[in-house]
Amino acid sequence: MTRYIIRRLLQAVPLVFIISIVLFVLMQNMGDPLATMGGRTITRSAERERLARQLGLDKPIMVQYLYWLVGNDWTKVDLDGDGVPETPGRRRGILRGDLGMSIVNRGKTVVEVIWERLPNTLLLMLTSEAVIIIGALILGIYSALRQYSVLDNLTTTLTFVFYSLPVFYFALLSMYIFSINFKRWGLPYLPTVGMFDPQVGRTPGQVILHMILPVMTLSFGYFAAYSRYIRSTMLEVMSQDYIRTAKAKGLPYRDVVLVHALKNASLPIVTVVGLDLPFLLGGAVVTERIFAWPGMGRLFLDHLTRADTPVVMGILMMTVVAVVLFTLITDITYAWLDPRIRYT
């Protein structure tokens, strides 16, 4: 297993390198980072030339990539032209842990910009993932054990309906029902934007209240998909000979389901969850935008539209590395769940 892990990590290095080149080239064609910097519009050609020279944007694209990768010495950048540079003159490169300076957020490093939003995204996304997994396990197992019952048919219909709904439609519908109409009917209604009410402050109760609608929106589609996966795999496993043997030996029904059946039925679910988890770091662009949740998805969209290459590349590379690591963790989990799986 140790040799397998080392080999996979070594294989990941050229893969991440190639992906970084593709992403960097694509970012150079997404817009003009000098169009808006620090919240102001730059139109004078002399000022644009000065900033392009100081930021290294006047160099060929592969030279810019090498600067981003291994670092370089450049003139300290004076964004507002007041004679006081807002960025350091030395950049060590991403290979040495320096993601660079944000072009849009004056004087802030990429790490600082990302760290301001990452905890908010993890709070929202991990809560949603926990709701999805726990709820889908309960519903999927029950539907498999009560196949073709009234509840099974009802949940099958509802899951297909929910899975077909676009995320933005469900978000707007939930806002209309649980916020606008509840308020109109004189019922306790849910907030629709932000993480907390500024007049109350960021208290745990306020954060939980503001999370309800975004968590519902993030969960409904995955909840439907996960529950169907669990139901189908549980039905397949429950028909196996070793399950009938366990029942014939007089083992408690609960142990047969949770120990023998669920463990063997969980391999496909581990694959799906393992591929979804890395993208928790990137946030949910549509959901965070609609509910004005200050997370990574909203950060990515805002800086992408303003061609802030260092921040966008930082978010993308963080997601790429997370995908590689979680794929490896998924493979290791396979071997733990099924001892017959061996990596050589």
pLDDT at 78 over 60: no
Instruction: Give the ranges where the chain is alpha helix by DSSP (H).
Output: 2-27, 45-55, 61-70, 110-145, 150-164, 167-175, 182-184, 204-238, 241-248, 253-255, 262-276, 285-290, 296-305, 309-337
How confident is residue 85, by pLDDT bands cut at 50, 70 and 90? low
Q: Among residues 65, 82, 109, which one ends one of the domains?
A: 109
Q: Give the Cβ contact number of residue 342 at 10 Å.
A: 9
Q: What's the average model confidence in pLDDT over 226-240? A: 86
Q: Do 119 and 204 reside in the same domain of the chain?
A: yes
* Of 18-22, 119-123, 177-181, 238-242, minimum mean pLDDT range: 238-242
**How far is C-alpha 31 from the geometric centre of its chain's CA atoms?**
24
User: How many domains does the chain divide into?
Assistant: 2
Residue 128 is encoded by which pair of tokens?
């949603």
CA distance 163 to 220: 7
- Domain membership flag for residue 343: no
pTM of the predicted protein model: 0.81
Place of tokens 């392009």: 52
Measured distance CA(120)–CA(14) in Å, rounded: 32
Q: What percent of the chain has pLDDT over 90?
A: 10
**Looking at the structure, do residues 248 and 126 belong to the same domain, yes or no?**
yes
Residue predicted with more confidence, 226 or 92: 226
Alpha carbon distance 189, 138 (integer Å): 28
Together in a domain, 329 and 220: yes
Domain membership of residue 158 as a residue range = 111-337
d(CA 167, CA 287): 7
Q: Which of 284, 286, 273, 282 is nearest to 319 (CA)?
A: 282
Q: Which of 74, 90, 109 is the last residue of a domain?
A: 109
CA angle 296, 213, 122 (to 5 degrees): 30
Per the listing, tokens 């396979």 go with: 334
Taking only the tens place, the pLDDT of each residue in 248-281 is 888 888 888 888 888 778 777 787 787 777 777 7
Residues 259 and 284 in one domain: yes
Stretch 32-54: mean pLDDT: 65
Q: Is residue 274, in this structure, part of any structural domain at all? A: yes
Above 80 in pLDDT, residue 314?
Answer: yes
The verdict on 124 and 13 lying in the same domain is no
Is pLDDT of 133 > 90?
A: no
